[in-house]
């Protein structure tokens, strides 16, 4: 059931015509311009609310040289895992690929977890290394959100967990063999990233904010008027004025471009 948008009378299922049986108004087109304007305004409001998050994500990920440097520092630790990590007197040095092959030979991740519960030092070392790899991926995914409300704190905590997992893995590997260069470089690069994030948390990253328009008005001005309780009719008047100015500017620009094109054409002749 629905009501007529003009007279408010309740409509029945057999009132299938677009005209209201009580007041005769066409309910499809009644105040259609107002509804279209309201829908457009609501879409622009939602865009104005979401755009700052997009701007912060861009700034956090690749919006400045400092942000790009952080991406590089975030990826470098992964490269250290391809260096030799651990070795012993009875086996050759292993990097992350060798560790993966060893896990596969032993029956997969399930077998490793079972060995951890049975007290295997090797299995615990491998598990901690895998946890550090997961933390690397989590830290990378969370980078675009680092300028959010709790982004800086989240980045530092995740980096710290990542570093602790890598250092604990190296410490456990040391109990069964000798560490190679990768086992030192890997946590060291994570520590460098952690310190860099501390510096960025203090200095911050520049954010280039996109100007959002609502009915031709800057979003900040529109939200301020709504917050101050400015009547809707007054806001609409300001929107019409702003849109008129924008239209005149667009027409003036088109006329200028057309005049330049005519001048160039005349010069060719």
First-to-last CA distance in the chain? 70
What is the Cα–Cα distance from 211 to 139, expressed in whole angstroms?
Answer: 30
Task: Locate 41 and state its tokens.
Answer: 């305004």
Condensed to tens digits (0 to 9), the pLDDT of residues 123-179 reads 888 889 999 999 999 999 999 999 988 888 999 999 999 999 999 999 988 887 788
Q: Report pTM.
A: 0.74
Q: Where are the extended beta strands (E) located within 114-259? A: 178-179, 213-214, 217-218
* Per-residue model confidence (pLDDT) at position 68: 94
* Per-residue model confidence (pLDDT) at position 88: 61
Confidence bin at 189 (pLDDT 50/70/90): very high
Condensed to tens digits (0 to 9), the pLDDT of residues 198-232 reads 999 899 899 998 889 888 889 999 999 989 998 98
What is the Cα–Cα distance from 148 to 165, expressed in whole angstroms?
Answer: 26
Residue written as token pair 């829908």: 39
CB 200 within 8 A of CB 66: yes
Condensed to tens digits (0 to 9), the pLDDT of residues 23-36 reads 888 877 777 777 77
79-101 average pLDDT score = 77
* Per-residue model confidence (pLDDT) at position 193: 95
What is the Cα–Cα distance from 127 to 106, expressed in whole angstroms?
Answer: 13
């Amino acid at each position: 059931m629905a009501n007529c948008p003009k007279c408010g009378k309740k409509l029945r299922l057999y009132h299938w015509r677009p005209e209201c049986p009580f007041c005769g108004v066409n309910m499809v087109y009644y105040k259609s311009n107002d509804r279209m304007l309201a829908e457009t305004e609501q879409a622009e409001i939602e865009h104005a609310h979401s755009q700052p998050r997009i701007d912060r994500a861009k700034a956090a990920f690749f919006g400045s040289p400092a942000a790009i440097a952080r991406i590089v520092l975030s990826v470098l630790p992964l490269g250290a895992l391809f260096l030799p990590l651990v070795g012993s007197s009875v086996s050759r040095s292993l990097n992350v690929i060798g560790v993966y092959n060893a896990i596969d030979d032993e029956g997969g991740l399930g077998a490793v977890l079972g060995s951890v519960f049975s007290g295997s030092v090797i299995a615990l070392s491998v598990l901690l290394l895998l946890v550090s790899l997961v933390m690397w991926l989590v830290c990378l995914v969370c980078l675009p959100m680092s300028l959010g409300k709790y982004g800086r704190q989240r980045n530092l905590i995740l980096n710290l967990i990542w570093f602790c997992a890598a250092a604990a893995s190296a410490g456990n590997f040391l109990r069964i063999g000798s560490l190679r260069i990768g086992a030192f470089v890997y946590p060291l690069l994570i520590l460098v990233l952690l310190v860099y994030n501390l510096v960025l948390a203090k200095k911050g990253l520049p954010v280039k904010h996109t100007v959002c328009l609502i009915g031709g008005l800057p979003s900040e001005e529109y939200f301020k008027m709504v917050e101050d309780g400015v009547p809707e009719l007054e806001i609409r008047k300001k929107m019409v004025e702003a849109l008129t100015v924008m239209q005149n500017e667009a027409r003036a620009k088109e006329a200028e471009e057309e005049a330049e094109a005519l001048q160039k054409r005349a010069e060719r002749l």
